[in-house]
Amino acid sequence: MAEKQYINGRWVDSHAHETYKHRNPARLGEVTGVWPQGDGDDATKAIDAAAAAFPGWRALPAIRRADLMKQVLRLIDERREELARVITLENGKTLADSRAEVQSTYREMEFQIAEGLRVGGETKPTAQPGVFAYETREPLGVVSVVAPWNFPLNVPGRKSTPALMAGNTLVFKPASLTPGVGKAFVDLFHEAGFPPGVINMVVGPGSTVGAAFTGSPRIRAISFTGSTEVGRRIHRVASEAMIRTQLEMGGKNAIVVLADADLDAAAASAARAAYACTGQWCTCTSRAVVEKPVLDEFTERLRHYVEQMKTGDGADESTDMGPLCGTEQLETVGDYLRVGTREGARLLTGGERLTGDRYDDGCFIPPTIFADVKPEMRIAQEEIFGPVLSVMEASGFDEAVRIANGVPFGLSSSVYTNDLNRAMSFIEQIEAGLVHVNMLTAYKEPGFAFGGVKDSGFGTPEAGSSGIEFFTEHKVAYIKYR
Ligand code: NAP
Ligand code: MG
C-alpha cells in the first residue's frame, strides 16, 4: 500500500495509481517507503481545498492563527529526535546535522510566528482636511510551497509559517527524495488542529505536481527552493499568469582567505562548510580563494582537517559525513570528479566513490579537495552540490574578489582577515546575498533575510521581515469623515 496525500484535512489515496519506492541513501537495499506518483488531479484537489479554506482562514484573527502555529512548535519540540531520524533516513545527513535542522526549523518558525503578529500598516498625514488614510497588508489567497530535499523540514517550515500567519492557505510539494519528512511536517499541522484545507500536501514528480502547483492561475504566489534551472522555468510560466515568485536557487560560495587571516580558523571553517550535509547545503563552501603567501599553509591545514573526517551512515553517531542523497546525486558528483581531473586540477584527497563492505550499497563519496583550480574550470564555475572543495590561488585582494565574483551565482560568501579595511571592502564589493567575516559561509539567523543575488535568488527573500512581506499585498484606505 502506498502512502497517502494530505488534502482537505485528511490522508487520502492518490488519484494516480503509479507508485515509487524510496530508498535509504546509506543502504540502497533498504526501502523506506512506497509513495504515490501524484498527478495533476491530486494537485487540483489540493488547490480546490486550499481555495475553499481561504475565506475562513483569513477571517481568523492573527493571534488565533498564532495559537495553532504554537501547537506545531510544541509538537516539533516533543518530536525532535523522531524528526531528526526521518531526515537522516531519507536525506542521509548525519544525525547531528538533522538535529540542527530541527532546531533551526523551530527557531525560524518561532520568529515568523512573532512577525505574523506584527503584520500591520502605517498611516501618514493626508493632503485633505477631514481625510484619514492608512495602508494595510492583506493575504494573497492560495500560495504554493515547492521544497528541495536538502533541507526537507527547514525549508517548508520557513516558507509555510509566514504564508499561513499572513492568512494565506497553501499547497505544498515536498521533493520526491524526502516525502517522509514532508509527511512528518504536515502531520504536525494535522495534530495541531488546523482547519481542513489550510495546508495540503501532494507527493509527486516536479513535472506534474510541481508544474500544477506553479502554473495554475488560481495560485497567487510560489515560494520555491531548488535548482536555478527549475526556478527559471517556474518563473517563466508564473510571469505569464502574473503569479509572484520567491526563488531560492543554487550557489557556488567562496571563502576568501587573505594573507593576514587566522589560517587555522579559516581551514576549519572551510572543512566544516564544504562537507556539511555532504556538500548539499545551498550555502556550502565550494571554493576557497587564497592569497598566494598563505596558500600552501592553508591547504595543508585544510587537508589535515578533512583527512580526519569519517564518512558513513548518517545514523551512526560517529559519522562526520553521510552519503549523497540518492543515486542521481552520486552520478552527478562522480562526473564532476572526473571533470576536475580531466581539466588538470590536482586531487589532494578523496576523489573516488568509496567501496567495500560499509559503502558498496550506499551513495558514498569521500570529502574531496582539488588544488590548483583555475577560475575558468567547470569545477570552479558550476554548482557541484557534493563534497568537493576547489582551492584557488589569488595574487592579492583585488584578484580574490574578482575570482569570487566571477561565477553566475551569488548566494553566500566569507572573508577571513583581521584587517578591517579589507573586510569592509570585501563586504562592499562581493556580489552575494550573504557575506560573512571570519565565519562559515553557511551561518544564518532567523531574524535576517535569507536569499541570493544573480542566479542564486529572485524575488523578495525569505526569513527576517521580508518572509511575510512576500506573502501579503498592500491596500490603502482613504476615509472622509468630515
Ligand atoms: P530541483 O530539481 O530544482 O527540485 C526542487 C523542487 O522542485 C523539488 O520539489 C522538485 O520536485 C521540484 N520540481 C522539479 N521540477 C519542477 C518543475 N518543472 N516544476 C515545478 N517544480 C519542479 O532541485 P534539487 O536538485 O532537488 O535540489 C538541489 C538544488 O536546490 C541545488 O541547486 C541547491 O543549490 C538548491 N537549493 C537552494 C537553496 C537556497 O535557499 N538557495 C536551498 C536548498 C537547495 P522533484 O523532487 O519531484 O523532482
Ligand atoms: Mg531535480
Q: What is the pLDDT of residues 149-189, one digit of tens each?
A: 999 999 999 999 999 999 999 999 999 999 999 999 999 99
At 108 the three-state DSSP class reads helix
pLDDT, tens digit, 9 for 90 and up, residues 74-108: 999 999 999 999 999 999 999 999 999 999 999 99
Q: Residue 242: phi, psi to the nearest 5?
A: 60, 40
> Does residue 462 have a pLDDT over 90?
yes
**What domains are defined for the chain?**
5-249+456-480 (3.40.605.10), 253-437 (3.40.309.10)
> Does residue 243 have a pLDDT over 90?
yes
The whole-number pLDDT of residue 256 equals 98
Predicted TM-score (pTM) of this structure: 0.96
Instruction: Please compute the mean of the pLDDT values over residues 240-247 and round it to a whole number.
Output: 95
In one-letter notation, the amino acid at residue 45 is: K
Beta-carbon count within 10 A of 449 CB: 17
In one-letter notation, the amino acid at residue 386 is: G
Is the beta carbon of 183 within 6 A of some atom in ligand 1? no
Residues β-bridged to residue 246: 223
Among 61, 88, 64, 104, which residue's Cα sits nearest to residue 192? 64
pLDDT, tens digit, 9 for 90 and up, residues 249-266: 999 999 999 999 999 999
What the block records as the C-alpha cell of 373 is 583550480
Of ligand 1's listed atoms, the one at least distance from the Cα of 213 is 20
Distance linking the first and last C-alpha atoms of the chain? 68
Is the beta carbon of 146 within 6 A of some atom in ligand 1? yes
pLDDT, tens digit, 9 for 90 and up, residues 318-367: 999 999 999 999 999 999 999 999 999 999 999 999 999 889 999 999 99
Residues β-bridged to residue 199: 170
pLDDT, tens digit, 9 for 90 and up, residues 39-57: 999 999 999 999 999 999 9
**Do 173 and 181 contact (CB within 8 A), yes or no?**
no
277 flagged as catalytic: no
Distance from C-alpha of 265 to C-alpha of 302, rounded to nearest angstrom: 10
Among 369, 334, 331, 333, which residue's Cα sits nearest to residue 350? 369
Mean pLDDT of the chain: 97
DSSP for 309-339, please give it.
PPBS-TTSTT-SB---SSHHHHHHHHHHHHH
The whole-number pLDDT of residue 357 equals 85
Is the beta carbon of 207 within 6 A of some atom in ligand 1? yes
Instruction: Please compute the mean of the pLDDT values over residues 290-307 and round it to a whole number.
Output: 98
Is the beta carbon of 383 within 6 A of some atom in ligand 1? yes
The whole-number pLDDT of residue 73 equals 98
363 flagged as catalytic: no
> Does residue 377 have a pLDDT over 90?
yes
> Does residue 66 have a pLDDT over 90?
yes
Distance from C-alpha of 224 to C-alpha of 206, rounded to nearest angstrom: 11
Ligand 1 centroid–CA 245 distance in Å is: 14
pLDDT, tens digit, 9 for 90 and up, residues 104-120: 999 999 999 999 999 98
> Does residue 1 have a pLDDT over 90?
no
What the block records as the C-alpha cell of 122 is 502605517
At 372 the three-state DSSP class reads coil
Candidates 3, 90, 108, 248; catalytic one = 248
